[in-house]
Amino acid sequence: MSSINRRTLLLSTSACAAMPAWVSAQKAPALVTITKGLDHPWGLAFLPDGSALVTERSGRLRRVIINDKRLLPPITGTPESANNGEGGLLGLAIDPEFRANRFVFMAFTETRGGGTVTSVFRARLNEAHTALENGRIIFRQNVVGQENSHYGARIVFDRSNHLFVTTGDRQSWQDKGLKGEVQKPETYIGKIIRITREGTAAPGNPKLPGWAPEVWSTGHRNVQGAALHPETGQLWISDHGPRGGDEINMPEAGKNYGWPVISYGVEYSGGKVGEGTSKAGMEQPVYYWQETVAPSGMTFYSATKYPDWKGSLFVGSLRGLHLARLTFANGKVASQEKLFNGFSRFRDVVQGPDGRLYVLTDEPNPGGGLYVIGAAGDAA
């Protein structure tokens, strides 16, 4: 099937891209260190004062003073997370009205009923930025999983100040105990959830027969990246395939994105997944990779610090060890550029208030760190 005849453009190799105008042949794009020594950093978000919060998978929340590159001691009051496998303290979001309510939201893996679930914790950050206060769990998955992987756990605020929360399939297509849960609309397994700050179903959710009121879309595998388009406000996500078939999607209310019935990937053994690559009533991806990149955090670049990159979608790659830059033409993905290829596992990418792009790298090489994209030889 030609990618020109549908919304997806398949690129398994890096596209050749011209050097951005903001650098020269002597000063190529480079990662400038803000801080190292982070323990499996996972989520990154900026506070109104320009400092950043970072979740560490081990359960700690850290504040980083960007201007002088200071990593401060852990903030107290975080939820007790199940730090095993892919689990721990994961997604992070700052309330759009933080100056008024000081709310911080975190997705984490909670021990429950003999297994674990993806849960969302809300707390108030004190004025000294040293402690979370009045914390409580506002959402948790309604099915317990035994596998310590595929938690999803990204959080994004929409333009109505409601939260999109991603959940993974908990390896349910292989787990006999959970088999079929992704395609059950009453569960929170393999779903995009949309809730209010209080954890209730958000106004405007699908309200379809048999669907849990908090469910926005279904048929997802392990969504570890989520971002709003800066012009349309549409949610975009990155979803892990099995072996190959990693996807970019635009989840719409009440729609089914196919996992594990359809996929462009294959089983780890090499066998076919489900029924093939398409089925009536199931959505096709906006974009997919034939290679395994293991996509993670993502953001659209809308500032002018790097003018040649404005409008691009940046996606961290865990398996591919690069930061992917996707460009668009006529509403479709037109090209892919692999930045900093081979440097590390890129866990998250966020546009800072200064218009620069900040990235988190995961262990083991070169270790967990926060970097800003600059030009070679620049100071942050």
Which residues participate in catalysis according to the annotation? 150
Cis before 364 (ω within 30) = yes
Report DSSP state, residue 72. P
Q: What are phi and psi of 99, to 5 degrees?
A: -60, -30
CB atoms within 10 A of CB 139: 25
Cis before 260 (ω within 30) = yes
Hey, which residues does 322 pair with through a beta bridge? 317
Relative to beta strand 29-38, strand 235-239 is: unpaired
Report DSSP state, residue 341. T
Furthest CA-CA distance within the chain: 60
Which one-letter amino acid corresponds to residue 117? V
Hey, which residues does 76 pair with through a beta bridge? 131
| The Cα angle at residue 234 between residues 233 and 240, in degrees rounded to 5 | 135
> Measured between alpha carbons, how far is residue 226 from residues 64, 316, 323, 348 in Å?
22, 11, 15, 10
Alpha carbons 215 and 236: distance in angstroms, whole number: 16
Three-state secondary-structure class, residue 99:
helix
Hey, which residues does 10 pair with through a beta bridge? 288
What is the residue-wise DSSP string for 11-61?
Answer: --SPPP-PPPTTSBTTB-EEEEEEEEEESSEEEEEE-TTS-EEEEETTS-E
Alpha carbons 138 and 287: distance in angstroms, whole number: 33
